Amino acid sequence: MTYDDIIAARGRLAGQALVTPMLSAPQIDALAGRRVLVKAECLQRTGSFKFRGAWNRISALSQAERGRGVVASSSGNHAQGIALSCQMMGVEAIIVMPADAPKAKVEATRNYGAELHFYDRATEDRDAVSQALAEERGAVLVPPFDDPFVIAGQGTCGLEIAVQAREQGVEHGTVLTCCGGGGLSSGIALALERDAPGLTVRPVEPEGFDDFVRSLAAGERLACEPGGISVQDAILTPMPGRLTFPIGQRLFGSGLAVSDGEALRAMGLAWQWLKIVLEPGGATALAAALFQGEALDDGPVIVTASGGNVDPAIFADALETVQAPARN
């Protein structure tokens, strides 16, 4: 993986992915006790940053590979990015999803024309299920994060962060990224290494699924204990990627983990003061900025608001955490 791969991805994504805004609000700054800039990837096509990596991967397939179709595994956001990209390019998409995936993500993926296959997250290995299905169908397997083209596509978000941070007068600070397998975090870190070396990426995960946090501290890839539960479904991965972890070892600062309660409250505050809708896993980085400031270095913080595909009932729970009435 190189910076040039990310530049190539930017070319493929031109005219397809949106340049998402970087938002701020004085109320968020006051709550965090520092300046907070929010990269609103929840406003990206399909409602998350995943469209970037998906489009870059599918557009790089040869004509012969496109004719074979693709298999991808995802709880919903990578699924939607792949499904829409395939729909736009006339490629068959087969998506392996956990049986407990949020209904909003399941229906959106189906509406983009994908064929869905469900598995039991507690008893089955999604990678094994996906691999077997790809072999059965003769399809191309597209991993959710451990793929050079996927990482490079996510890295285009980092190119935008570098430009937008400079425009905001921020040259030194912390970039908190919502982190599952590390595709977004590692892609952003590779982009910032060249374009904004004063910004340090720190991955943020759900409590109980802090495999990257622990792996970085241990110096080796560690797995999560099986059987955990979290509403932050978008970033529940069993272990850091083989490609993403070495990038993280070289470029990341230490990781952080947030509770479901912190993620839900961050969702409520994002709606109240930034007027954006986040899903729990898309609010993880903002939650760290708001509620774990003692673990951060002094200075401004940039956070990725990585997705907004949330079921209405969970969003209602998040809004109930906001005590003060919303004001313009």
Whether residue 135 is predicted with pLDDT greater than 70 in this model: the reply is yes
User: Could you tell me if residue 238 is inside a domain?
Assistant: yes
Decide if 193 is inside a domain.
yes
What is residue 225's predicted lDDT score, i.e. its pLDDT?
85
Domain end call among 111, 142, 173: 142
The contacts of residue 318 (CB under 8 Å, 6+ apart) are 264, 265, 267, 268, 271, 280, 283, 310
Residues 173 and 237 in one domain: yes
| Mean per-residue pLDDT, 229-256 | 95
Tally of domains in the chain: 2
- Do residues 283 and 184 both lie within one domain? yes
Q: Do residue 115 and residue 166 come from a single domain?
A: no
Nearest to 16 by CA among 221, 200, 153: 153
Helix (H) or strand (E) holding 314: helix 312-320
- Asked if residue 156 and residue 262 are part of one domain, the reply reads yes
Tell me whether residue 326 is in a domain.
no
Which of 75, 110, 142 terminates a domain? The answer is 142
Structure tokens given for 103: 């209904």
* Structural domain harbouring 80: 51-142
220 within some domain: yes
Q: Pick from 84, 107, 142: which residue ends a domain?
A: 142
> 13 and 155: one domain?
yes
Q: Is residue 154 domain-shared with residue 267, that is, in the same domain?
A: yes
CATH number at residue 184: 3.40.50.1100
Asked whether the beta carbons of 184 and 177 are under 8 A apart, the reply is yes
Same-domain status, 283 and 158: yes
258 pLDDT band (50/70/90 cuts)?
very high
* C-alpha to C-alpha distance for 93 and 158, rounded to whole angstroms: 27
Whether residues 45 and 66 fall in one domain: no
Residues of the chain above pLDDT 70, percent = 98
Co-location of 295 and 241 in the same domain? yes
Are 211 and 222 spatial neighbours (Cβ–Cβ below 8 Å)? yes
pTM attached to this predicted model? 0.94
User: What DSSP designation does 212 have?
Assistant: H
